[in-house]
Structure 1
Amino acid sequence: MDAEQLAAEAAARGDKAGEAYWLHVQKVVDQAPPLGPEQIARLRVLIWSDTEPRSQAA
């Protein structure tokens, strides 16, 4: 689900503050520069994925 969808849901509920918040989030994200290869590699290490095997700590 993205910020635009969340804004639409808030608007449907009549939540003007929630709609404004999510539209602001979308605007900020749209203005951000693209991530570089090194940033993407770092994020891949930090983001947990259920498809990857989990290590068993002893």
Structure 2
Amino acid sequence: MNAAQLAAEAAARGDRAGEAYWLHVEKVVNEAPPLSPEQVARLRVLIWSDPVPRSTAA
């Protein structure tokens, strides 16, 4: 789900503050410079998930 979708959902609920917030988030993200290759690599490590869920139950 992206900021535009969240803004549309907020507008559908009549939540003008929520809509304004998500539209602002979308604007800030769109104005941000692109990530460097090093930043992309670091984020990939941080958000990597195990494709096989492991149980933590004993």
Normalized against structure 2, the TM-score is what?
A: 0.83
Percentage of pairs with the same residue: 81
Alignment of 1:12-51 (within 5 A): 12-51=12-51
- Structure 1 spans left out of the alignment, 5+ residues: none
Q: Which runs of 4+ in 1 moved over 3 A?
A: none
- Structure 2 spans left out of the alignment, 5+ residues: none
CA RMSD for the aligned pairs?
1.7
Normalized against structure 1, the TM-score is what?
A: 0.83
Give the aligned length.
54
